[in-house]
Structure 1
Amino acid sequence: MIKLLVTGVWITVVALASVYFSIQATNTKESVEPEAEMFGGLETIRGEVTSIPVISDGAVQGYFLTRISYTVDPAKADLLTIPLPVLVMDQLYTALVGEQVIDFPSLKKFDLEAFKVLIRESLNERVGEKVFHDIIVEQIDFLSKSDIRSNMRQGRFTMKAGDPIGEVDPAPGASAPSH
């Protein structure tokens, strides 16, 4: 009888211990490393070429030309009421014209990384969340007024006539086109 009782207690202890350890094994937290920002989940949007006037001493000294792309969190970007290209363009104008973060006439050295961080951080600060993850500079140039004039004199730049807007009055004595 005692053997039967000890065997029953032994089977109960083993069963309870196996249930306890199996529950503990399934509840262990897996160490999940966060996915790097450049791998999946982000969308890259290519920006337009932006021409920003450089104003110094009350006059336009030249033009800052840039094309930047940016990586954004698409879920958060879709919630914005202002289109992303408009927001980025406004921030470029604010930084380069309003705040004048770059002093072009006396420019000795340009810190590209600081420029990218400034644009990214100011955009994220403006929207109130981390939407912009990276700023990618595709093109960055500065054309002074003398560079532009020199190119025009050498024939590298030609002005094209645009199409007329609206109806054009026919020349006196000419008949109007029939439709």
Structure 2
Amino acid sequence: MIKMLGTGVWICVVALASVYFSVQVSNKKEVVEPDPAMFGGLETIRGEVTSIPVISGGAVQGYFLTRLSYTVDPLKAAKLSIPVNELITDSLYTALVGEPVIDFPDMERFDLDAFKAHILTTLNERVGEELFQDVIVEQIDFLSKEDIRSNVQQGRSLKNNPTVERTTPQPQAAAEAPSH
């Protein structure tokens, strides 16, 4: 009888221990790491082509053309009272015209990372919060006045060139209706 009582106590202890450990394992919270910034949660806003005049010595020396895209938190962007594209365009002009970041005569030393960081800082300071996460460069060009003049002259010379033959497609002959 003592063996039977010992076996019953042993079964109860094992059952209680297994229930205790199963409850502890099921209540353990998993550590969830957030996704990196480039893998979800952000929205990309494609900017417009922006043409900024380069003024040096009191005259326009050319035009700086750029198209940038921006990654933003969509929940914060939805709360803005100003449309995002207008805010971006204004901040871009302010950053590039008001505070010369690029040394246009010496474009060989152009620091793309510093340019992107300056644009990002300017945008976030304007909003007053870290809304913009990254700046993505799609296009950067500089057209000097000489480049623009030569392009305009080439366009005129092609229009006024009498040796360029202009052909128009010939109409196909209408198919004759079969006679009955």
TM-score, normalised to structure 2's length?
0.74
* Larger CA Rg, structure 1 vs 2: 2
Q: What residue is the counterpart of 1:135 in the other structure?
A: 135
Matched, 1:74 2:74: yes
Q: Which residue of 1 aligns with 2:88?
A: 88
Could you tell me which amino acid in structure 2 is paired with residue 104 of structure 1? F
Give TM-score, length-normalised by structure 1.
0.74
Q: Which residue of 2 aligns with 1:123?
A: 123
| Pair 4,128 (structure 1): closer, same or farther in 2 beyond 3 Å | farther
Q: In the alignment, is residue 149 of structure 1 matched against residue 149 of structure 2?
A: yes
2:104 corresponds to which letter in structure 1? Answer: F
Task: Specify the code of the residue in structure 2 equivalent to 1:40.
Answer: G
2:111 aligned with 1:111, yes or no? yes
2:46–2:68 Cα contact (<8 Å) kept:
yes
Greater helix content: 2
- Distance (Å, rounded) in 1 between the aligned partners of 2:59 and 2:108: 21
State how many pairs are aligned: 157
Q: Give 1:4 deviation, angstroms.
A: 5.8
Shift of 1:5: 5.2
Instruction: Give the Å deviation of 1:117.
Output: 2.2
Matched, 1:44 2:44: yes
What is the distance in 1 between the residues matched to 2:95 and 2:57? 18
Q: Match for 1:62: what amino acid?
A: G
1:97 matched residue in structure 2? 97
Q: Which moved more, 1:2-11 or 1:19-28?
A: 2-11
Q: CA offsets per residue over residues 124-163 of structure 1, 9 Å max, x none?
A: 3332333222222111111112222222233369xxxxxx
Q: Point out where structure 2 has 5 or more consecutive residues left out of the alignment.
A: 158-180
Runs of 4+ with deviation above 6 angstroms:
none
